Amino acid sequence: MLQTSHNIIKVGLVGKRNFLPIEKLIQPDGAFLGQSNQSWLLTGGFESDMEGLYNFASLNELLLNCDAVIINDLMHAGFSELQHIVRHCKHVFINQSFPLSTDELIILHKLADEAEVVVQMGLQHRFSDLFVSVKDKKITPRLIETNHFCQYKRRSTQLSIISDVLLEDIDMIVNKVNSEIKSIHATGVGVIYKDPDIINIRIEFQNACIANISGSKIAIKDIHKTRFYQNDSYYTLDHLANTIKVFNTNDESFWENTDESDSLSGSVETFQKFDLKNAAIAELEAFFLAINLKTKSAASLYDHLAIKFVAEKIYDQLERNFVAKCG
């Protein structure tokens, strides 16, 4: 594997400016803005339209002059290109989730392990302050309840209720429970469209935790809340208000008024609204830190495989338990 000299990671950029915040993260000398000690230097691009950036004649020429590759535009890279980059022992940051099959993910994961490189892709929700805070908290959930309802809009027909609505909820739950899945049961109903508009999912884990997830893309208003119930207390996450409240169920006053008001909460944490630029900085920091420490990234191919496994099980269930729109 190519080693970076003097702790400098030389980066090549592939594709046009779909990853908008990247231009705000680069200094005039080509260095990235960041909070870590290592230096990241943008050496050039391939088929990039970034002003002032040197464009290499081919992808191979770019690979000869960098240690890591940022794929800015999925139109400029497919599975074969990703294989080619990883086989050249280059770290890869893919701005968005890439539509790879399970077999392709497995192949790429094995190649990355053999080449000892970091491949980070999508899962931008993992870099929100709310997600990070939940991940770091010592919660041992026995029951999890998630309601993610999206207000009906005309474009709802283009939304997949699993991939576009519930994916981050599934990821948060599986990540927090950290136990093998025992069983998954899902049902869906098509009210307006011929695909599921409303679904209910029940996931049972080997550690006896149960997660109930309800999702809708035709709701009257937006609601997005998750509750983690554990012995003697529970946490309420309001994803829209960006708050976490903790309630002590041993407190008698709690049972007298269960409206989850701030006055009954043992603590209330409020987080900044999810910001694209801050998320971009956090993603790139995590990517380069994983390279520096030679560890798994915060959005690795293994993580994608784990989420994809759950999503495919849900799809399998919906094929058997889906009531389509009549007429």
Asked whether residue 154 falls in the same domain as residue 247, the answer is yes
The tally of domains found in the chain comes to 2
Q: What is the pLDDT of residues 126-151, one digit of tens each?
A: 988 899 999 999 899 999 999 999 99
Asked whether residue 265 falls in the same domain as residue 162, the answer is yes
229 occurs within a structural domain: yes
* Three state DSSP letters for 162-228: HHHHHHHHHHHHHHHHCCCEEEEEEEEECCCCCCCCEEEEEEEECCCCEEEEEEEEEECCCEEEEEE
Q: Which residues pair with 143 in a beta bridge?
A: 210, 229
Distance CA 143, CA 204 (A): 10
139 occurs within a structural domain: yes
What is the band of 209 on the pLDDT scale with cuts at 50, 70, 90? Answer: very high
Q: What is the pLDDT of residues 24-77, one digit of tens each?
A: 555 555 555 554 545 777 888 888 877 777 889 999 999 999 999 988 777 777
300 occurs within a structural domain: no
What is the band of 234 on the pLDDT scale with cuts at 50, 70, 90? Answer: confident
Asked whether residue 138 falls in the same domain as residue 188, the answer is yes
Give the pLDDT of residue 2: 41
Asked whether residue 151 falls in the same domain as residue 136, the answer is yes
CATH number of the domain that 134 lies in? 3.30.360.10
Asked whether residue 239 falls in the same domain as residue 138, the answer is yes
> Coil, strand, or helix at residue 152?
coil
Asked whether residue 313 falls in the same domain as residue 193, the answer is yes
pTM of the model: 0.82
Asked whether residue 77 falls in the same domain as residue 39, the answer is yes
242 occurs within a structural domain: yes
In 3D, which of 96, 104, 101, 174 has the Cα closest to residue 134? 174
Give the pLDDT of residue 4: 43
301 occurs within a structural domain: no
319 occurs within a structural domain: yes
Asked whether residue 177 falls in the same domain as residue 319, the answer is yes
Give me the phi and psi of 248, to 5 degrees please. Answer: -95, 110
Distance CA 66, CA 160 (A): 37
Give the best-scoring range by mean pLDDT among 33-37, 38-42, 114-118, 320-324: 114-118
Distance CA 139, CA 176 (A): 8
Mean pLDDT computed over every residue of the chain: 83
Asked whether residue 173 falls in the same domain as residue 35, the answer is no
Question: Regarding predicted confidence, which is higher, 22 or 99?
Answer: 99
302 occurs within a structural domain: no
| Structural contact between residues 34 and 285, judged by C-beta atoms closer than 8 angstroms | yes
Asked whether residue 77 falls in the same domain as residue 154, the answer is no
Q: What is the pLDDT of residues 240-295, one digit of tens each?
A: 999 998 888 776 665 555 556 555 556 788 888 877 777 777 888 889 889 988 89
| Residue 236 lies in domain | 129-273+309-323
Asked whether residue 208 falls in the same domain as residue 269, the answer is yes
Distance CA 87, CA 70 (A): 16
